[in-house]
Structure 1
Amino acid sequence: MSTTARSEDAPAAGEVAGRLREAGFVRLVGAATGDALAASGVLARALADCDRPFQVSVADLPADTERATDADLTVAVGRADPVADCSIAAGAEPASETAFAVARELDADPDVALALAGTVADGRAVGGSVAEAAEASGLERRPGVAVPTTDLVDGLAHSTLVHAPFSGDRLAVAAALDGAGIDADGPADGSDPVVDATSLDESARRRVASLVALRTVGDDACPPRGGHAVERALRPFDGGPFATVGGYADVLDAVARERPGTGVALALGHDVGEAALDAWRSHARRAHAAVADATTGRYDGLFVARAETADAPVGTLARLVHDYRSPEPVTLAVTEGAAALVADDRDLEPVLSTAAEGVDGTAAATGTTGRARFDVETGAVITAVREAL
């Protein structure tokens, strides 16, 4: 049976805050995205400041969430959910932006770096009240690239903010940096080369940023939208629990999809940084391998990337292919049993709803992104999406 979350008008921050004040126990149900995870963390920390009991969970689809908990108020975060009492979906603004406003309405002091990381993970230009709060709190942008680690080789090899020829390959990153005049140190034990980003001066950081931009969008196969997408990885904000806020965003998005329990702990401020980085690296390696190995097809208005392995992270695959490979306005990434859809500026809810009904699957969409699960051949899913478009 097809079940697709329907979009709804997002409630105002003051309205959500009022309902949170009245609830004895709050259940936050986040989508498996960096923005939704960050927004859930902002709301949960605000509830903790108010001594309000809460539970946080993250799931790919609304149908995956556990409904047994007896909560006075269930809030869906990052997408609409017809079962929730209210939803903070990523619509006109990122969910993190709305959550930040809700936390302020509750007289809490929201974590600016976490909210800012959520807006970066959302993929749109950073602005609004979160950007203003970041500036007021002293979070500043600097030349260079947004990675979560001080080792630049590690950071660039596993970044999912970009897809470049060196992505997923530490040795290729080291060679590219060497070509830009930045030497990677080869440890005496023969382990992977490293570059200490904290040791680079402003000129070197600018060279790294130029290298990443050119290697990412300089290929003729990269669509024009890639020039906008790569900006998320450039001129990062300093701050947060990782080397940069943009790196924080990258880790949040990866752990939300890869290891949601660790993601929730990270968003709540617990000391799980190393576990989160391990999940981020694993997710990135599989995502970049999936982009490199995918079988692609181009149709009228749709670009399809069919993953070669069943464990390919289709959400990240769809985003990377759409940003840096797809010549069409809608991109579908599909593997055995799962699919993800990304569009330039089209509401995908009716598309995924129709496609899911056609294959008796389950789907959810928020604006220009969506996920689906099914139990048919991938060819049938591709056909259903083409017909729905």
Structure 2
Amino acid sequence: MATALLANRPATFLAIGLAVVTDLFMTTRSSVMALAADTILFVVVASVMAEVCHRLTSRTALLHSILTSVPVVTLDGEGRILRITAPAADLIGVAPEDALARPFSLFAPDFDKATLSVVTSGGVLTLPAPGYWLVRRPDGEMIPLTIHASLLSRSVDPERVVLSLGDQRQALAAHDRMRDLMDQLSRRWRLNSMGEMAATLAHELNQPLTAATVYLHAGQTDIARAGPIGDSAGRALDLAKTQLLRAGDIIRRMRELIATGAPEMAEERVSSMIEDLRPLFDLIHQDTGVTISIDVQSFEDHVLADRIQVQQAIANLVRNAVDAVTGRDSGLVRLAGHSLPDMGYEILVEDNGPGIPEDQMDRILQPMMTTKAGGMGLGLSVTRSIVESHDAILVVGRSSLGGAAFSFRLSPVSELEVA
């Protein structure tokens, strides 16, 4: 048994053989049959026990290997650290030997005696207010962790609690990046909406202002015929006409600014831009229950684009599609992208909703045109402006899924650079 626990199988079989030989020389038996029976019985029993010991040793080694590769801490009833794996010691920023016999609350202040008593009494460990535990390392750095606690049997005293630690730094960093992206998209959306509204107002207001200027000029001409009596009124009309012309000039400048405003173009990968939006689509799915399928080819997807602008256009098309199928059974929105040899990269958003009525198909992209109750009619108009600023066309049609389909094509980097 000692050989089986400490050595490998060949050494164990050698030990059994030596034991048999020693027994043959040191023990006398009445017959050859008795000798053979005793020898066979000894070999069988010894082999079985050796195999059991080997399996126990292998399983123990496997468990030890698993435990030493994950951050695990065991505590006694007072919350002192009795065992700690190297990954766990690395998380709290100390050497394993320096953490032993020290209170775990020294590193995780929120894991105090009250929390420990909840665990030792069989209760459920609840998260602190931020949603994670904070560990203070000796260098002052605060590490966010998840902690799963389990109560050990009394048979393994003095160890009472085992803690499994999980590093949350990457998860929180990804959450912060997603929040920043959503903030950028929101800001860009507001700017685009304001720009689209300003362009529409500039176009609509320019005509009545021009007409008012013409009427004032005609009124000035009529008052001039009245002679000195109409001089005062003429001067007032002249001032009014000047202000109208000034207002028209301001609107023209606004239109020129909007018309010549160029996006910030850079080489981007479509698959990367859409991957950044995946958490946003997951949130939309959680809120609405609508399935958002993403099928984007990552081969030859390099384009020259304004990353935030294109992401805003895609996100807006997906939101519109989700709105169209919300409340329907098995609502589905599909976002697809594929490379077209020598023709660029095409992005398609389609749904299985009711689709766009034929009489609205030509007007759906116009500003202030909406099919939603309470909608402002700027979403698709802004999306069209973004697409057109990339020298592309937003195409509206019917989807093979039964609803609406919107697509646009971005030119490849090489083609844009040559242009």
Q: TM-score, normalised by structure 1?
A: 0.19
Which structure has more helix as a fraction of its residues?
2
Q: TM-score, normalised by structure 2?
A: 0.18
Higher RCO (CA 8 Å, separation ≥ 6 residues): 1
Larger Rg: 2
